[in-house]
Structures are given as structure tokens and as C-alpha cells.
Amino acid sequence: QVQLVQSGAEVKKPGASVKVSCKASGYTFTGYQLHWVRQAPGQGLEWMGWINPNSGGANYAEKFQGRVTMTRDTPITTAYMELSSLRSDDTAVYYCARGNLADWGQGTLVTVSS
Amino acid sequence: DIQMTQSPSSLSASVGDRVTITCRASQVIRNDLGWFQQKPGKAPKRLIYTASSLQSGVPSRFSGSGSGTEFTLTISSLQPEDFATYYCLQHNTYPWTFGQGTKVEIK
């Protein structure tokens, strides 16, 4: 069965960077886009962008352009989302999701606090 | 960006009630719309894809309809496990955008 397993919770200081991983299994990793979605505490869902695991090409929401980088390591079927210049309003649960968001990781809480 | 206007933002209903949630897109998105259910502390779960196709394993009391700009999620007979927050998502045009959510609470 399809599984997306994300890395553990992180606490970062403002201005730092965070890199969240998403280990995929149960399907052909290079066959589906991998998206990232975040959810601030008590708020709705926000789409951040996607990566094509086959080509490595990525498409980011304009809001995150210049601060986000999505990469992948195909041999270990793992995708990564790195967000830099963190601010307090980046505190959120970050999810990876496959294809048209049919399958989701369990989420990674990133807390930005001084 | 395409705006997804979801209504209502919350509703109170009883077990057995028929519940309808609506999403309106700010421009035509064909049928490139999904519906998701999220329970507290959990990842969202896709219920409906391409506006009206039921995700495998999802109970048949859930249904979706619509095309173009107006979409509806219907729960035909609300069950205790259906109390959650529901989101629509358009995946026609980047950036993908979600509705603001509908919280379904127990009356």
C-alpha cells in the first residue's frame, strides 16, 4: 500500500531554515507528482508547490518563491522540502501528498520561535 | 489565483441528517476539483476526485457533483464519524487553492 512517512517535528529560530523529508513506498516514486501543503494552527490548508520526482523539476506557489526548495533523492524514494528565512508565521504542520493529493504523509510540525 | 469560496463555514447537524456543502470557483475549472475530510490532529483524507468520483473505500453516503464553477459535496445520512472539517481543492490551475473549510459539528 502507498505510504508517505515524514520526518519528525522541528523547532527552529526565526531566520533559520528547515528541511522536511517524505519517504515514499508502495508505488513507483517517479510516476507521480509530490506536493507539499501546510496548515497553520487552527487554520485551513495552503498549497506550497510540487516536484516531479522523475525530472526533479518543481513549481512553487508565488508566496514561497525564493524561500522554498523542493528536491528528491530517487534511489531512496525520498522527497524534501526546505524552507528558509523562517518567521513565526511559518509555524505549521507541513504535509507531503502524492498525485492529486490522493495519499498524504502524517505531517511534520515545524515550530518557529525565539 | 483562482479563489474557492466554500459555504457554509460551519454547520450543526444531527446524525441521520442530509448535509450539503458548496464550493464556488472564481473561474471555470472544468471538473478539476476534489473534496477532503480532516479530523483533528490527522492528515486530510480525499473523499471525492474529479468532482464526482468516489475515492476507493469511502462510504457511498458521500457524493460530489458540479462542473465549471459550482460544486457540491453531499452526505446523504450523517454518521457520528463524519463530524470533521471538509475542504474543496481546485487542481485546474497553479497555484492549487483550497476552500476555507466547513466544520461539521454535532447539533
Cβ pair B103, B13 in contact under 8 A: no
Tens digit of each residue's pLDDT (9 = 90 or more) over A61-94: 999 999 999 999 999 999 999 999 999 999 999 9
Cβ pair B52, B3 in contact under 8 A: no
Cβ pair B104, B20 in contact under 8 A: no
| Residues on A contacting B at a C-beta cutoff of 8 Å | 35, 37, 44-47, 49, 59, 61-63, 95, 100-102, 104-107
Q: Provide the chain B residues 23-62 that lie in CB contact (below 8 A) with chain A.
A: 34, 36, 38, 43-46, 49, 55
* Three-state DSSP string of B39-81: CCCCCCEEEEECCCEECCCCCCCEEEEEECCEEEEEECCCCHH
Tens digit of each residue's pLDDT (9 = 90 or more) over A33-53: 999 999 999 999 999 999 999
Is B95 in the A-facing interface, judged by CB distances under 8 Å?
yes
Closest chain A residue to the Cα of B55, Cα to Cα: A102
* Record: contact B36-A45, CB cut-off 8 A: yes
Count Cα atoms within 13 angstroms, Cβ side, for B104: 26
Confidence at B107, pLDDT banded by 50, 70, 90? confident
Q: Rounded CA gap, A48 and B96, in Å?
A: 9
Residues of B in contact with A62 (CB under 8 A): 95
**A15 to chain B, closest Cα gap in Å:** 25
* Record: contact A47-B100, CB cut-off 8 A: no
> Given the C-alpha cell 454535532, which residue does it identify?
B106
Torsional sign, CA B38, B39, B41, B43: negative
* Record: contact A101-B87, CB cut-off 8 A: no
Confidence at B106, pLDDT banded by 50, 70, 90? confident
Q: Which residues partner with B59 through β-bridges?
A: none
Strands B102-106 and B70-75: unpaired
Is it the case that residue B21 has pLDDT exceeding 90? Answer: yes
**B15 to chain A, closest Cα gap in Å:** 25
Q: How is residue A17 annotated by DSSP? A: -
Give the pLDDT confidence score for residue B88 in this predicted structure.
98
